Structure 1
Amino acid sequence: MSNVDATLKAALEIDGATAAALVDYDSGMCLGQAGGGTLDLDVAAAGNTDVVRAQLRTLQRLGLPEGVEDILITLGSQIHLIRLIQSPSGQGLFLYVVLNKDRSNLAMARRQLTSLERDLRI
């Protein structure tokens, strides 16, 4: 079991991770954040909330019964990974991690983030 701060600290230990946040996509608010440097994680949380909501609406309109596991946004030098929390206590939340594209392994990052999400207790 892991709390929010420990989970975010562990997320920053993923190879290439530069920022991490736990976000409530009902409100768009950060419940916790780590790293970031010059990246404003509050702005990123609000913007990525729009992305999550749009994806959920689209799946509903398509009548697809499956839920979103994660959303990947690639930039020239970064990968932004959004992992929706699957546990009942985490409904309406997602983990957000920013990775340096040159220093990360996407498959390993997804695997580690899934493990962190599974162990998170809110």
Structure 2
Amino acid sequence: MPNMDISLKEMMGIDGAVGAAVVDYSSGMALGVLGGSKDLDLQVAAAGNTEVVKAKLRTMDSLGLKDTIEDILISLGSQYHVIRPIAGRGGKGLFLYLALDRTRANLAMARHNLRAIEDKLDI
């Protein structure tokens, strides 16, 4: 099973990827990052998207929804940001974060590939 470094490289191999991270949403800390740019600070993105995940979990709890988050998609003018909480095998409290360039990405394939990477990830 791939470790975090291999999984980050696989995430960056997804068409249109500009940044990838594995994030602990209890602390907001990125456990691993790859890519990014002067316009995309992955440490800041990890901390900020932690609040997105926590807010969605609180809302689901308030609504009494007994379900799990598959992924959260944020569509920006030039990018897609995909947040995928890790299910099973010690991944509780972690999520995969992938930033994509909209002009180069196929969102459906990116989500499919991210799911496959999550399934293989060994943390």
Structure 1 length as normaliser, TM-score? 0.98
Q: Distance in 2 between matches of 1:43 and 1:33?
A: 11
Q: Report the Cα offset of residue 78 of structure 1.
A: 0.1
Q: Distance in 2 between matches of 1:87 and 1:14?
A: 23
Q: Distance in 2 between matches of 1:58 and 1:75?
A: 23
Identity %: 58
Q: Distance in 2 between matches of 1:35 and 1:88?
A: 26
SS in 2 for 1:80: strand
Give me the CA root mean square deviation.
Answer: 0.6
| Alignment of 1:83 onto 2:84 | yes
CA contact (8 A) 2:23 2:97 kept: yes
Q: Report the Cα offset of residue 88 of structure 1.
A: 3.5
Q: Report the Cα offset of residue 69 of structure 1.
A: 1.0
Aligned equivalent of 2:49: 48
Q: Report the Cα offset of residue 108 of structure 1.
A: 0.3
SS in 1 for 2:47: helix
Aligned equivalent of 1:115: 116
Per-residue CA distance 1:37-74 (angstroms, 9 max, x = gap): 22111100000000000000000100011111100000
Gaps of 5+ in 2: none
Gaps of 5+ in 1: none
How many residues are treated as equivalent by the alignment?
Answer: 122
Please list every run of at least 4 consecutive aligned residues from structure 1 whose deviation after the TM superposition is greater than 2 angstroms: none
CA contact (8 A) 2:16 2:104 kept: yes
Q: Distance in 1 between matches of 2:88 and 2:31?
A: 16
